[in-house]
Amino acid sequence: MSTTEHQAARTVLVTGAAGGLGRAFALGFADRGYRVAVADLDADGAAETARLIEKIGVDAWHGRVDVTDPHATVELASQVAGFGGGRIDVLVNNAAVYGTVTRSPLEDIDPAEWDVVMAVNLKGPWLMTRAVSPHMPEGGRVVNLSSATVYSGSEQWAHYVASKGGVIALTRVMAKELGRRGITVNAIAPGFTLTEASRGLMDDAESYGVDRGALRRSSQPEDIVGAALYFAGTDSGFVTGQTLVVDGGRQFI
């Protein structure tokens, strides 16, 4: 990519980008020529994602962030805006607690774990958007990650499902408030997707849910990337406050 193209490129910040869906999002945006900033609690993983982006020939920035920390999110946004020439065009709120969440009947969920899940999965997108939005120009895009489990009501996972349902509600409020500035806010609700974390949840991860899908195959991280690119691009400029389920036709909403 030439210097001129770099200057014209839009800047995207992807949280939770040390691996899994976050890394897939980051690489997908890089393939489209975006400047890509990646952040994660796992600093080494974020650095590796940045190295993969740079191999594509795209500018990359990486940093560590705790999305539950108001001060850390503000500092991160400031640094990424500097990397982006004073602006952040797209925010992908992907950071979440997922693979380590304990599956328990609602009566047995540890209240401390409930608080952690809510802090990362729901408070995190709020804090990140609050920190980034001052650096967003008109035409900015926020993409939040929910989950198709909100619609299936996955048992013994009340805290995770509730947190992701909250993301949908938060998306709608953000769309109303940020829409006054010409910024769109939408959510993606992936179905069960084969990431490192998902494979660690069960022995039959490769085949889980395949028989319930219209497309009859497992979901790969790359299957979710197109939805993020659509919500981040110009073709979705009049779409906001919406949630797109990407699960191969396991559920029709």
The whole-number pLDDT of residue 13 equals: 98
The whole-number pLDDT of residue 2 equals: 38
Label residue 115 by pLDDT band (50, 70, 90). Answer: very high
The per-residue pLDDT for range 149-192, each reduced to its tens digit, is: 999 988 888 999 999 999 999 999 999 999 999 999 999 999 87
The whole-number pLDDT of residue 118 equals: 97
The whole-number pLDDT of residue 220 equals: 86
DSSP states of 185-239 as a string?
EEEEEE-SB--HHHHTT-TTTTTTTGGGSSS-SPBPTHHHHHHHHHHHSGGGTT-
The whole-number pLDDT of residue 4 equals: 35
The per-residue pLDDT for range 201-212, each reduced to its tens digit, is: 666 666 676 777
Considering the entire predicted model, what is its pTM? 0.92
Q: b or e along 95-113 (b: 16 or more beta carbons within 10 Å of the residue's beta carbon)?
A: bbbbeebeeeeeeebeeeb
Catalytic option among 34, 151, 160, 208: 160
1 vs 189, higher pLDDT: 189
Label residue 194 by pLDDT band (50, 70, 90). Answer: low
Average pLDDT over residues 102-120: 95
Is 49's pLDDT higher than 60? yes
Q: Is 98 labeled as catalytic in the residue annotation?
A: no
Percent of the chain past pLDDT 90, that is, above it, reads 77
Residue 198: strand pairing partners: none
Average pLDDT over residues 15-29: 97
Neighbours of 201 (CB within 10 A): 16
Angle between helices 158-179 and 111-118 (to 10 degrees): 30
Q: Which residue has the tokens 């084969």?
A: 194
Q: What one-character DSSP code corresponds to residue 136?
A: P
The whole-number pLDDT of residue 227 equals: 97
* C-alpha of 163 from chain center: 14
Is 146's pLDDT higher than 60? yes
Is 197's pLDDT higher than 70? no
The whole-number pLDDT of residue 202 equals: 61
Is 104's pLDDT higher than 50? yes
Label residue 253 by pLDDT band (50, 70, 90). Answer: confident
Average pLDDT over residues 31-44: 97
Domains belonging to the chain, first-starting first, are 3-246 (3.40.50.720)
Q: How would you class 4 by CB atoms within 10 Å of its CB: exposed for 0-12, middle for 13-18, buried for 19 or more?
A: exposed
Is 7's pLDDT higher than 60? no
Structure tokens at 156: 């013994």
The whole-number pLDDT of residue 250 equals: 87
Q: How would you class 41 by CB atoms within 10 Å of its CB: exposed for 0-12, middle for 13-18, buried for 19 or more?
A: middle
Is 222's pLDDT higher than 70? yes
